[in-house]
Each structure stands twice: as structure tokens, then as C-alpha cells.
Amino acid sequence: MTTATDVEVVDLATTPLRELNQRLHDGAAGGPLRWRIVNPNGAHAVAVGVDAPFEIEIEGHTGYYTAGMNKHAHVRVNGNVGVGCGENIMSGTIHITGNASQACAATGRGGLVIVEGDAAARCGISMKGVEIVVKGSIGHMSAFMAQSGALVVCGDAGDSLGDSIYETHIYVRGSVEGLGADCIEKELKEFHREELGRLLTAAGADAKVDEFKRYGSARRLYNFNIDHAGEY
């Protein structure tokens, strides 16, 4: 019998990835709630498609799409992650202690993704409701076509931030190399201060709300207008 405190350890040096993911999927019906995955050695698609309130700890660096499409699970990666970590996350949390490669939390629809280090280009691209807190800096084209949710950056942001953005709220503490089409600096209203404060607390970030600037959509590309044709 397993109990809630048991930790199921899976060694990817000896267990095929397929077996790990299958066990995580089958486990939604019962079994251990806590998982520890060791020796990921940069494997792609580790713990993807999980649909259960598991606590999953991954010891080491992972490849592409770590915890992709996560639902309910709380995933912690003690290391760096490759491209598309937490892509299309639905709910739950993903906490990365190192750096994240490109397209972190791309198209995410819910949940919270925390990056202790930096995130590369296209962080939060096409995000649809996910909340992302990056304690370091983010690369260019981040929050491209970002639809909803919030992106908090405690460091700096690269070029073309929020290009063609819709309704996502972006908060940056440091410098912004450049804003993308239709993305502008906006007033930090009470609602935003609360949202930002909540996210900083949730991520355990050592930063103050007043240090941030907010960016969002000028909403000038929402309905086609010939006078803005060059920006589309």
C-alpha cells in the first residue's frame, strides 16, 4: 500500500521515458502522489500530459517540453529546462530552479510557471491565461501575440516585447530593449498592483511592486485599420 507521503522514485537512466509517462498517466487513477525523477540527462517530454495533483520533483536538467500540457500537478525542476517547458500548461505549477530555454510556457492557459534564473526568447509566446514569473531576464519576442494571463520579469526584457499583444499584463522591473508592435507602457493601476504583488509573493520573489513598469496592448491593431498597415 502506498500512502500520501511515499515518494515514487523513477530513474531515467534505467527506466524508459515511455514507461515513466505511462505510469504518471495511469497513476491518475490512484497510487503514489509524490514522484521523484532522477537522471533526466536532458531527456525531452519528461512528465508531459500529467492530469493529477501530483508533486513531481525532477533532479537535473531536462530537454524540450518538460511538463508540457500539465494539469493539476506541481512540478519542480532542480536544473535547467529546454525549449517549450510547460507549453500549453492548463493548471498546477512548474518551478524551474535554473534557466529556461525558448518558448517557456508557450500558449499556456492556466497555472503558474516560475523561473528562478533567466528565460530565453519567446517566453510566454501566445500565452492564453498562464501566469509566469521570471526572476532573471527574458529574451526577445517574449509575449508575442500574448492573449491573456500575466508575465512578470524581475530582470530585463529583450527586444520586441509583447509584439501584437492582446490582453496579457506584462510587468518588468529592469530595462526593456524594445517594445513590439502595439505594445506600450501602461499605468500600474490598483488591480495590477494587487495582481503583481500576489504573483511576487507566490514566486517568493524579492522585489517590490513599485519597482515595476507595466506593459500592455495599445489595442490599435484590434480591428484592421489601413493607417496602421505597416505594423501588422
Partner 1 sequence: MSDYNGQAGDGMNWQPGLRESYIFDRNTIEEIRRAASQGIYDIRGFGAKRKLPHFDDLLFLGASMSRYPLEGYRERCDTSVTLGTRFAKKPIELKIPITIAGMSFGALSGQAKEALGRGATMAGTSTTTGDGGMTEEERGHSEILVYQVLPSRYGMNPDDLRRADAIEVVVGQGAKPGGGGMLLGQKISDRVAEMRNLPKGIDQRSACRHPDWTGPDDLEIKIEEIREITDWEKPIYIKIGASRPYYDTQLAVKAGADVIVLDGMQGGTAATQDVFIEHVGLPTLACIREAVEALQEMGMHREVQLIVSGGIRNGADVAKALALGADAVSIGVAAMIALGDNDPAYADDYAKIGSAAGFYDDWHEGKDPAGISTQDPELSKRLDPELGGRRLNNYLRTMTLETQTLARAAGKSDVHNLEPEDLVALTIEAAAMARVPLAGTDWIPGRSKDGF
CB 30 within 8 Å of CB 8: no
223 lines the binding site for partner 1 (CB under 8 A) = yes
Could you tell me the smallest distance in angstroms from the CB atom of residue 107 to partner 1? 4
Q: Would you give the distance in Å from CA 99 to the centre of its chain?
A: 12
Per-residue binding letters, 87-126, with partner 1 (x by CB under 8 A) = xx-x-----------xx--xx-x------------x--xx
Interface stretch with partner 1, choices 92-100, 160-168, 193-201, 204-212 (CB under 8 A): 160-168
Q: How far is 92 from 74, CA to CA, in rounded Å?
A: 5
Identify residues 1-60 at the interface with partner 1 (CB under 8 A). 17-18, 21-22, 25, 44-45, 48-49, 51
167 lines the binding site for partner 1 (CB under 8 A) = yes
| Backbone torsion region of residue 41, taken as left when φ is above 0, otherwise alpha when ψ lies between -120 and 50, otherwise beta | left
71 lines the binding site for partner 1 (CB under 8 A) = yes
64 lines the binding site for partner 1 (CB under 8 A) = yes
Q: Would you give the distance in Å from CA 40 to the centre of its chain?
A: 20
Nearest to 104 by CA among 89, 84, 88: 84
- Pick the closer one to partner 1 by CB: 44 or 193: 44
- Pick the closer one to partner 1 by CB: 63 or 200: 63
Give pairs for 64-73: CB < 8 Å, separation 24+: 64/101, 66/94, 67/94, 70/94, 70/111, 73/47
Q: How far is 209 from 189, CA to CA, in rounded Å?
A: 11
For binding to partner 1 (CB under 8 A), which residues are involved?
A: 17-18, 21-22, 25, 44-45, 48-49, 51, 63-65, 68-69, 71, 83-84, 87-88, 90, 102-103, 106-107, 109, 122, 125-126, 128-129, 144-145, 147-148, 164, 166-167, 221-224, 226, 229
